[in-house]
């Protein structure tokens, strides 16, 4: 089955494009067939994908009403995609609503600060209301991004999210230069950034959220 994973967060700059490109490229490295759809007018995802360093199919969709037909066409195409990722802009929009409706998994990145955590909470509520309207279950998880393990701020933020019963992956993307370098290289994360992103994918797989990721492959190479 093709997994449709939308990365959504109403607060800008929380790490949507970073998270998406990191995990999509690791899945590709592991042999998955992946498509990515950029819906953000800033086209950051597209400029990463255009560097052609990662073997995936990418497209840009600017019309919110065409997003779901585009996803359906990709699912029906001769290419059997293991995963279709959708990147969104950092504000609440009709496009974000369609991206939520198109997906069976939502990732909500949040850096360890109050503004991102509030954005994550609002985004989670938005996902819940779309799911209720559509009468379907949409799994959604906050993913902590750019985490500095030497401070207590992350714990304060994650405790607050947990107290509000907002589902969250235990694995986090640490603050690593390797994540920033992806923008200029067009490749996946390297070094310790790679290991950090791999832990996020392994967490997703452990929860049965993704069907394609052979964690044994990276355990051998780590
Ligand atoms: N784990 C990380 N380590 C280091 N830098 C990070 C990490 N995660 C995100 N960043 C940095 O944070 C900034 C914002 O990230 P990104 O562009 O992925 O956010 P976004 O949510 O896609 O933003 P926008 O809302 O503008 O689309 C970038 O400079 C990125 O390199
Ligand atoms: Mg972005």
Minimum mean pLDDT range among 53-57, 65-69, 94-98, 152-156: 152-156
Output the pLDDT for position 219: 54
Output the pLDDT for position 213: 83
Mean pLDDT of the chain, nearest integer: 94
Instruction: Tell me the average pLDDT across 131-144.
Output: 96
How would residue 151 be classed by pLDDT, with cut points 50, 70 and 90? confident
In what side-by-side order are the strands of the sheet with 34-38? 57-60, 34-38, 83-87, 3-7, 105-111, 139-145
Find the 79 Cα to ligand 1 centroid distance in Å.
Answer: 30
Q: Where are the domains of the chain?
A: 3-209
Q: How far apart are CA 6 and CA 87, in angstroms?
A: 6
Beta bridge partners of 37: 59, 86
% the chain with pLDDT above 90: 90
Instruction: Tell me the average pLDDT across 170-196.
Output: 96
> Which fold is adopted by the domain 3-209?
Rossmann fold (3.40.50)
Name all residues whose Cβ lies below 6 A of ligand 1: 9, 12-18, 40, 44, 90, 145-146, 173, 175-176, 179-180
Output the pLDDT for position 171: 97
pTM assigned to the model: 0.96
How would residue 17 be classed by pLDDT, with cut points 50, 70 and 90? very high
* Ligand number with the minimum distance to the CA of 182: 1
């Amino acid at each position: 089955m093709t997994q449709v994973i939308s990365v959504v967060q109403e607060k800008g700059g929380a790490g949507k494009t970073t998270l998406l490109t990191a995990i999509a490229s690791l899945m590709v490295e592991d042999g998955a067939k992946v498509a990515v759809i950029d819906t953000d007018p800033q086209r950051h995802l597209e400029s990463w994908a255009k560097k052609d360093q990662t073997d995936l199919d990418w497209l840009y969709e600017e019309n919110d009403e065409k997003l779901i037909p585009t996803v359906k066409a990709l699912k029906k195409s001769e290419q059997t995609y293991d995963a279709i990722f959708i990147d969104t802009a950092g504000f609440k929009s009709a496009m974000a609503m369609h991206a939520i409706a198109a997906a069976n998994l939502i990732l909500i990145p949040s850096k360890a600060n109050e503004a991102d955590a509030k954005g994550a909470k609002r985004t989670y509520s938005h996902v819940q209301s779309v799911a209720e309207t559509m009468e379907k279950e949409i799994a959604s998880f906050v993913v902590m991004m750019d985490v500095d393990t030497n401070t207590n701020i992350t714990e304060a933020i994650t405790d607050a999210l947990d107290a509000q019963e907002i589902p969250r992956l235990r694995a986090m993307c640490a603050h690593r230069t390797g994540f920033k370098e992806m923008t200029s290289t067009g490749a996946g994360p390297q070094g310790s950034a790679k290991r950090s992103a791999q832990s996020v994918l392994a967490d997703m797989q452990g929860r049965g959220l993704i069907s394609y990721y052979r964690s044994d492959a990276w355990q051998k190479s780590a």
